[in-house]
Each structure stands twice: as C-alpha cells, then as structure tokens.
Structure 1
C-alpha cells in the first residue's frame, strides 16, 4: 500500500482509512510526503527562498514521521519517504518503482469558483497514469461557509 501524507485533515482521514485497510489486508505501508516547491514557488510569485524551502522540507519530514509513528503504534509496518516534485509525478514514479496494489490519498473538494482556479486533483492524474492500480481517495466534508 502507498499512502500520500501531508498532515492536512484530508490526509489524516486517508491515514485512518489506510490503517484500516492495512490491518484488514495484513499489508505494509509506504508513506510518501511530497515537497512540492515548484507549486509553492509559483503561488508566491517565484520568491521562495532557501529558508522557506528548508522549512518545507522540515515540515514534510516532521509530518512523515508522525504518520509512520501512528502506523507503527497500531502494529503496521511502515516505511517513510520524502520525495520532491509535483504530487502526481512523485506518486506515479514511486508506484512504478514499488508497484503498490493500492494508493490512498486525501482530497479536498473545492466549492464555487475555486474549482476553476486550481490544478487538476492528483487522484485524477494518477488514475490516468497508473492503470490497474486501485486509488482510494478520501475526502472530508466541506465547511458550511465554503
């Protein structure tokens, strides 16, 4: 199994679902935390400095450690990886290398105009790239004012 984890409420929900599936299937889990500096740099007008990049990497390592520890605490064998690049590209490369039968990731549903301002969700790109791999997309309900 492969879990994409970034510490958001959506990825925490994906972690819960992944742990349930892992226990039921007696499957180990690879946890991937992605440092997507390119997207962050684009959203801040190309002004991402070395300190900010280092902070992104530290945050990814910290959240990755939390996820691996949570899985280990309930008896699941988990390996953690920090990867660099766009989420869909990183996950596709990892999946092609390690060949997981199942990929679990969180997704934040967009409402209103924000649907048009965002890039395609990673799970859509992954479904097109990784034929034959089961992708479990876990969502969390939208707040009332979204």
Structure 2
C-alpha cells in the first residue's frame, strides 16, 4: 500500500484511512513525500534558488517523518521515501517500482474559479497511469 502524504488536511485524512486499511488487510505501508520543484519553479517564474530547493526538501523530510510517526502510533511499521519531480510522475514511478496494489491519496473538492485555475487532481492522472492498482481517494468536504 502506498500513501501519498504532504501534510495537508486531505493527506491526514488519507493517512487515517490508510491506517485502517493496513490494519484490516495486514498490508505493509510505503509513504511517499514529493519534492515538486518543477511546479514550484513554474509558480516562481523560474526564479527558484538553491536555498528554496533545499527548503522544499527539508519540508518534505519533516512531513514524511510526521507521517511515519503517526503510523507508528497506530502500530503500523511504514517505510518512507522522498521522491522528486511532478507529483503525479513521481508517484507513478514509485508505485510501479514497488508494485503498489493500493494507492491512497487525499483530495479536497474545489469550487468556483479554483476548479479552473488549479492542476488536475492527482487521483485522476494516477487512475490513468497505474494499471492494476486500486486508487483510494479520501475526499474532504468543500472548504
């Protein structure tokens, strides 16, 4: 089972669901935290410096550690991985290399202009890319 975790409320809800599933299925858990420097660089008009890259990686490591600790508190041994690149690309590569049968991601339904300005939700792209894997999307209510 692969958990995509970035520390958001959506990811925390996904972590809770992942814990429940792991205990019920006796499944091992791999946690992925993505350093998406590609999107961050695009949002900063290509002006992202070395210090910012380091900060992104540091934040991802901290977030990953938090997820591992929360799973351990629930009696689940999990292995963590930092991956780099666009989130959907990095998660797809990782899921394929570890043969993840179940991928758990968090999602918040957007309303208004946010639906048009944001990237496509990750679970839609993962569903197209990960043949043979079950994508579990934990959705939070509208903000």
Q: Tell me whether the two structures share a fold, i.e. TM-score over 0.5.
A: yes
| Equivalent residue pairs, number | 143
What is the aligned partner in structure 1 of residue 46 from structure 2? 46
Paired residues for 1:1-146 under 5 Å: 1-143=1-143
In 2, the alpha carbon distance for the partners of 1:65 and 1:131 equals 29
Tell me the secondary structure at the aligned position of residue 47 of structure 1. Answer: coil
Moved over 4 A (4+): none
Cα distance in 1 for partners of 2:85, 2:43 equals 15
The TM-score with structure 2 as length reference comes to 0.97
Deviations 1:41-86 (A, max 9, x none): 1112111111111111000000100101111122112000000001
- Point out where structure 1 has 5 or more consecutive residues left out of the alignment: none
Could you tell me how far apart the structure 2 residues matched to 1:27 and 1:131 are?
20
TM-score (norm 1): 0.95
Structure 2: give runs of 5+ residues left out of the alignment: none
